[in-house]
Structure 1
Amino acid sequence: MDDLKQILARPIQLAEQVIKWSDEAYTFRQECMELKAKVERLAGLLRQAARADLYERPARRIFDDTEKALDKAMALVDKCRAHGVVRRVFTIIPAGSFKKMAYQLDNSIGDLSWLLRVSSSASDDDDFDAHIGLPPIAQNEPILFLIWEQIAVLYTGNLDARADAAASLVSLARDNDRYSKLIIEEDGVPPLLRLVKEGKLEGQENAALAIGLLGRDPECVEQMVHAGACTAFAKVLKEGPMKVQAMVAWAVSELAANHPKCQDAFAQHNVIRFLVGHLAFETVQEHSKYAVTSSKMSLHSVVMDKKNSTRRAFVPDLMDAGHPNGHLSQSKNEMQHLVQSTMVAKPNGSSVKGIGSNGGVVSSKQHNSSLSGTTTKGREFEDPETKAYMKANAAKALWHLAKGNAAICKSITESRALLCFAVLLEKGEGDVQYNSAMALMEICSVAEQNSDLRRSAFKPTSPAARAVVDQLLRVVDKAEYDDLLIPCIISLGCLSRTFRATETRIIGPLVKLLDEREADVSREAALSLTKFACTENYLHVDHSKAIISAGGAKHLVQLVYFSEQVVQLAALTLVCYIAHNVPDSEELAQAEILTVLEWASKQAFMIQDQLIENLLPEAKIRLELYQSRGAKGYH
């Protein structure tokens, strides 16, 4: 604002000079007096602006245009002064110059009047709803004037006015990307973030929604992060109203989805911690990673204490793992047992509430806010829809924050978030369930590439990891074509290197999906099974035998011959790995896999695939070595 006052100094000086020289006019005196009247009014508005609290972006442009108009007015008036007979004779002033100059001064007066009115109306309850009018500077771009008006209110208005202005910006940001960029360019983000932290409930929600809508590309997100979005969001997630926290969680998910590089910035401001706290609220008891009081027993210690007594429930005898139906029938009881075993004992004996339809699973009457770092007082009295919305958006934010980020995935898996996701995948509904599945998929995808994360988060003896696998397998085994199926298929494939050789219950349900009518399901099942059978997997031979035993060969033959191209390529890749790993298999001979490979080697689009080009020749050679005679016998 001090810069604006310095900028105003020269226009005010110019106005005074024009007024003085107008009095000295020798020619066109009447016209100079008319200009003088306009400049006097303009000088009064400039002095008023110097005392006002103004919105800087339009103010700079208006002051700049006003200064240019006064420069021209001074040059015009100067020509009318008494400079001697010779100069007067040779000075030519076009007839339309004064009319044009008057028009420019009127525009400057209109612009300054609008700037002062929009600033005063922003803080005036009675006049706020009055239409301010379109300033001359915005005639060529009316939408800019509307954006300026709303941002000016955000800077100087009362809380109710600012809430309405934020709602207006939400409507503009929804319209198109250009409006969003204009809002950001015209400094709309800082007052929105201030409203997120300081406003009333409606204003905070509107401001958070606007921020989420504005973050449509990496450049926009980067500007918002630099403007303090992480700090503002962390403050709300720690202690704001739940409705606002839910909207902020959604905004975090939007920014992280559109610019993954902001993930670490949010993590540095403890956003991961707060989101996991919201996810765990009424799902499982608060997570051990964030416990700060020694008087409370942590979940981790409870799980460890009960580990020996519950091992049979959590980790069935691996020799029985080959019976998926028997194991899945115990899944529900195991999950309930796991959740109950992670609850901290209630000193007052308060009862545990039943499972709700809103995705909140385990609810207790007492919650210790120190455990999660978030304020939990009163949250249990929120309506079920708000709780479900909060949980869904917390899961969505964690999904996008975890994507491709090993450090954040490690932070999430070291908390009780894995268990929360498993519970919500089983008991949640709608977006809560879907976002949990997607978050697990992203974490599993990172774990596939990161051995440290894989070993720490998904070791077979981990109860939480076991619960996750049980729920992924439950969805896959049910095989309903919904939004959950494909993320769960992908997750199981990503975890392929965490399963022991005797853990054959995973293979069967995936093989059944090869016979699925939906092409994308068959393709993802083939891709996941490929991760079991590929040579990078230490147990690729055992897994390949399990795929064959589950009837995979006949399904794969059908897919290679008759499916869509993308499915054919995925199925053929899997066939090549299996043929390479167990070329002496009688089932492969009966399915005439060698004939399939010979046919595939003649299909141009198949051999153009780089991976198949490398795998197919070796697979054929190995099959010919073991099965050439057998294959001929089946013709």
Structure 2
Amino acid sequence: MATTEEEKTLQDELSLPILLADRVIKSAQEAESTKLEFSELAKQVESLSSMLRSTVRLASSTQPLYERPIRRIVADVSKNLDRALTLVRKRKKHSGVLRQVFAITNTANFSKVSNLLGSSIGDMKWLLSIFDSDGTNLSLPPIASNDPILAWVWSYTSTLQMGQLKERADAANELAQLARDNDRNKKMIVEEGGVLPLLKLLKEAALPEAQIAAANALFNIATDQERVRFIVDSLGVPIIVQVLGDSPMRVQVHVANLISRMGELDPIAQEEFVRENVTRRLVSLLSMDTVLDDPKKIQEGRTSIPALVKINKELAVKKPGLFSSHSSFSSHSDGSSRGGGHYKKEKEVESPEMKNKIKLSCSEALWKLSRGSLSNSRKVTETKGLLCLAKIIEVEKGELQLNCLMTVMEIAAVAESNADLRRAAFKTNSPPAKAVLDQLLKVTQESNHSLQIPAIKAIGSLARTFPAKETRIISPLVSQLQNGNVDVATEAAIALGKFVCPDNFNCVEHSKAIVEFLGIPLLMGLLRANERNSDRSQMHGLVLLCYLALHVGNSKALEQAQALNALEGAARSVVAQHPELRELFTKAIHHLTLYQAGPHPHRQPLAI
């Protein structure tokens, strides 16, 4: 809720110091002695009065005025004028000997008030100068002598709000630089009203460079949740989404980066972007020049890579791009083509480097928006998003491929905890799901650790979608248990644990498949190798071993691998750090004991 002071109009704010100035001048003119001192003070106040009235005229003009420095400086002027009025009235009130005593003892006060009025004159001169049409004023007013950044923020923001387009772009660049320096500057720009004019410049500027400057400034400001939320509360999300759809590609790159950062830092911003249908626009830009496979043909035929290549060749003749003129992405239902027609031709001739930049930015934005967001994950899967992500993972390399993998990983993580999304988007007979899974399996077996980890995580998140007969999923994961990179091997153990945990309906069949693919020796090798490594790796490997003991405890492979000894040897230390695993370890050890060959009926139960 706004305070009473904030609710006052600017004219109301200015009326008080003007009234005070008139009273000071009148009181000074009525003084009977030491007229020189009063005359000098009256001149100072007359100067202030004149500048205050000039400010009133500016405030009454049709052009919106940047009020923040006016209110701050005028409040300070009012305090100094009030001090001057108090001093003059005290001087007038005394007579005779008392007046002489007062004059001697208050000379210092008189000098102090005069200095304060001089500072107010300097502040008012500076204030009027920043509203001139000459551009930004980088001089320092007395009020900001101890904090020059404040004066710069005021000056740049004033130009940003009231200057010509080129000057506004330059001011936005300066604010971007200030925001890049430190968090204090970011906070000051927000507090001094810099966000709204930046959003206005982003929305209305006819100059792409001005839009880029505004987007960069907002990007540098939006580095924590509080400031991101301020941009959201300033109704910035609809503006940002509109600009993403309507602007030249070089602007869209910076806007997509802003969306990515805001979505990463604030779940409210994340949901607001999804509500404004940003997902379709991001997928549309990401899919540019990408020939997607026809889902009907994928469903009719095999989803192997050679089959997909053949289908692509056939489709390339009929459909040169992702979206035809009848595509849902081309319609006005999501607003993605409103006002953007004049950039269509420009986008067609953009350089490959620029197209790659926009794809990188959009893929990262999809990744950050999908993290933990059911609504965005559902939006991606309801569009051709999964097909698009699968195709890019297949044909691209480097950062773009990684971003798309991370997006799939985040969507799969959301689907893991939401059965409706899991059934709708990742059912095994779904062509998009098949295309994604093919790529995840392919990447899992590559040697790039940074790609393998998100691919394995995604497969693990989808463990409950695979039927018992889908054993081709198990083999690649089992093989990664012997990966030389401990993080990859650990993620494989975690993923396999999701296949064989009791919550998975097919846990017994999946456990048998792991044994069939010689997973027990590989898992024991991982545990031995990781005795000197991270607690995380050891713990997840042992959890997987516990699940296998529960479901296939009679397996000869477990006995040959001496799984019981391994669990007993590690149980106390693991349970000490993870007490929630006590029951699991107890059950697994008991279960293995029942199937151990040899005279163990009187084995003492392990006190964990």
Structure 1 and Structure 2 fold alike (TM over 0.5): yes
Contact 2:559 2:596 in 1 (8 A): yes
1:553 paired residue number: 520
Compared CA separation, residues 344 and 254, structure 1 to 2 (3 A): farther
Contact 1:280 1:416 in 2 (8 A): no
| 1:390-539 equivalence runs, <5 A | 390-481=358-449, 483-539=450-506
Identity, in percent, stands at 40
Match of 1:259 among 266, 274, 292: 266
Query: What letter matches 2:418 in structure 1?
Result: N
Query: What letter matches 2:150 in structure 1?
Result: L
Match of 2:85 among 67, 74, 99: 74
Q: Does 1:593 align with 2:567?
A: no
For residues 427-472 of structure 1, give each alpha carbon's deviation from its aligned partner in whole angstroms, at most 9, with x where no partner exists: 2233321211111111000000000000000011111111101111
2:146 paired residue number: 140
Determine the C-alpha separation between the residues in 2 that align with 1:581 and 1:228: 55
Compared CA separation, residues 51 and 344, structure 1 to 2 (3 A): farther
Determine the C-alpha separation between the residues in 1 that align with 2:397 and 2:127: 50
1:569 paired residue number: 539
Query: What letter matches 1:502 in structure 2?
Result: K
Contact 2:135 2:159 in 1 (8 A): no
Determine the C-alpha separation between the residues in 2 that align with 1:249 and 1:272: 11
2:295 paired residue number: 303
Q: Does 1:624 align with 2:584?
A: no
57-66 or 258-267, which deviates more: 258-267
CA offset at residue 261 of structure 1? 2.1
Determine the C-alpha separation between the residues in 2 that align with 1:607 and 1:539: 31
1:321 paired residue number: none
Determine the C-alpha separation between the residues in 1 that align with 2:131 and 2:315: 56
Contact 2:274 2:375 in 1 (8 A): no
CA offset at residue 334 of structure 1? 3.5
Compared CA separation, residues 255 and 339, structure 1 to 2 (3 A): farther
1:313 paired residue number: 302
2:280 paired residue number: 273
Match of 1:109 among 100, 107, 121: 121
Determine the C-alpha separation between the residues in 1 that align with 2:599 and 2:258: 62
CA offset at residue 577 of structure 1? 0.5
Query: What letter matches 1:20 in structure 2?
Result: K
Determine the C-alpha separation between the residues in 1 that align with 2:54 and 2:8: 15
Contact 1:28 1:80 in 2 (8 A): no
CA offset at residue 629 of structure 1? 2.5
Match of 2:201 among 195, 205, 216: 195
Q: Does 1:215 align with 2:222?
A: yes
2:606 paired residue number: none
1:608 paired residue number: 577
Determine the C-alpha separation between the residues in 1 that align with 2:186 and 2:381: 36
Compared CA separation, residues 69 and 139, structure 1 to 2 (3 A): same
1:318 paired residue number: none
Query: What letter matches 2:185 in structure 1?
Result: Y
Compared CA separation, residues 112 and 21, structure 1 to 2 (3 A): same
Query: What letter matches 2:143 in structure 1?
Result: I
Determine the C-alpha separation between the residues in 2 that align with 1:606 and 1:217: 38
Query: What letter matches 1:282 in structure 2?
Result: D
Compared CA separation, residues 605 and 539, structure 1 to 2 (3 A): closer
Determine the C-alpha separation between the residues in 2 that align with 1:396 and 1:196: 21
Q: Which has the bigger relative contact order, CA under 8 A and spacing at least 6? A: 1
Determine the C-alpha separation between the residues in 2 that align with 1:607 and 1:463: 46
Unaligned runs of 5+ in 2: 1-6, 60-64, 602-608
For residues 375-399 of structure 1, give each alpha carbon's deviation from its aligned partner in whole angstroms, at most 9, with x where no partner exists: 4622221111221111111121121
CA offset at residue 206 of structure 1? 1.6
2:308 paired residue number: 335
Q: Does 1:169 align with 2:175?
A: yes
Determine the C-alpha separation between the residues in 1 that align with 2:473 and 2:376: 27
Compared CA separation, residues 280 and 574, structure 1 to 2 (3 A): same
Contact 1:541 1:582 in 2 (8 A): yes
Contact 2:94 2:102 in 1 (8 A): no
Compared CA separation, residues 341 and 271, structure 1 to 2 (3 A): farther
TM-score w.r.t. the length of structure 1 is 0.86
Match of 1:345 among 318, 324, 329: 318
For residues 241-271 of structure 1, give each alpha carbon's deviation from its aligned partner in whole angstroms, at most 9, with x where no partner exists: 1111121111011011111122221122222
Query: What letter matches 1:612 in structure 2?
Result: L
Determine the C-alpha separation between the residues in 2 that align with 1:265 and 1:100: 54
Unaligned runs of 5+ in 1: 286-298, 315-329, 347-351, 353-361
Compared CA separation, residues 253 and 28, structure 1 to 2 (3 A): same
